[in-house]
Amino acid sequence: MSGRVLVGVKRVIDYAVKIRVKPDNSGVVTDGVKHSMNPFCEIAVEEAVKLKEKKLIKEVVAVSCGPQQSQETIRTALAMGADRGIHVEVTGKDYDTLGPLQVSKILAALAKKEEAQLVILGKQAIDDDCNQTGQMTAALLDWPQGTFASEVSLENDKVKVVREIDGGLETIKISTPAVLTADLRLNTPRYATLPNIMKAKKKKIANVKPADLGVDLTSRLEVLRVDEPPQRQAGMKVETVDDLVVKLKDAGKV
């Protein structure tokens, strides 16, 4: 076992930014807008670093796919305690259409190349809410998956995962190598502090092209239109239940 964990980190628009749709409805405005690491990816990095601090794994490798700026996201992961980074360069049109299918192919290729024992990802990104990359990566690798993890423990060559599901919590035990996706309550990510930010400046980030990994970036999806959510209409107050039934019948709802 290599004792190596691959962590995927995505650069997304910061959660606190008010999103604006482009005038041509082709997408959202990203130019000049504050970006940061996807919050679920932060949780994934934190979990990997915790495993290393417990000496259960040896090395944490942070991976990000995107343009030059993705390196900043990798540096943040390095400052949180990742050992080295891999920047998979994807720019222009390819970056615009980059989605879970392409990223999972890239991660699968890297997981094999790096002989990773675990791939830990955030459960979903806050920009597209896809919640697919972890699952697709596991399927491409034919590895078991522990998704929506709120607790992870390594026991020899198995992983015990407590999953947050609609009905409550489900505990599973899966073999390694495996893919895990982090849910909100898995941990509280640490802040990158100044000494670690400085040390991260001297850590290595390798540059890789998708073609080097034999990955085809062609998208099977085409975004037709992006709209803002409809404005919330004002509601109506009624005095009695009978009034309510009348109003519902008038509106053709009943």
Partner 1 sequence: MLPQFFPPRKCCQFIQKVFKLQSRALVSDSARADEHIRRFIRDNTQVCRDQSLTPQIQLRLFTPSCRFWRESPELWPFGDPYWALYWPGGQALCRFLLDSPGECRGKAVLDVGSGCGAGAIAARLCGASRVVANDTDPVAAVAVRMNCELNGVVPPVCVTDNLIGSEPEDFQVILLGDMFYDDALAASLHSWLDRCIRSQGTKVLIGDPGRSQFEDFSSTNVLQRLAQFELPECVREENYGLTCSSVWKYCP
Q: Which of 165, 198, 245, 248 binds partner 1 (CB under 8 A)?
A: 198
**Parallel, antiparallel, or unpaired: how do β-strands 59-66 and 84-89 relate?**
parallel
Shortest distance, position 253 Cβ to partner 1, whole Å: 52
Measured from the CB atom, is 185 or 203 closer to partner 1?
A: 203
Residue 154: other Cβ atoms inside 10 A: 15
Q: Is 92 helix (H, G, I), strand (E, B) or coil?
A: helix
Measured from the CB atom, is 47 or 83 closer to partner 1?
A: 83
> Cα–Cα distances in Å, from 183 out to 43, 100, 145, 214, 248?
8, 17, 13, 31, 39
Q: Which of 33, 165, 193, 223 binds partner 1 (CB under 8 A)?
A: 193
**69 part of the interface to partner 1, by CB under 8 A:** no
Shortest distance, position 122 Cβ to partner 1, whole Å: 23
Measured from the CB atom, is 188 or 231 closer to partner 1?
A: 188
Measured from the CB atom, is 154 or 197 closer to partner 1?
A: 197
26 Cβ neighbours under 8 A, 6+ residues apart: 223, 225, 226
- Pick out residues in 78-97 that bind partner 1 (CB under 8 A): 81, 83-84
Among 39, 40, 48, 77, which Cα is nearest to 159's? 48
Q: Is 65 helix (H, G, I), strand (E, B) or coil?
A: strand
Interface with partner 1 (CB under 8 A) = 52, 59, 81, 83-84, 191-195, 197-199, 201-204, 206
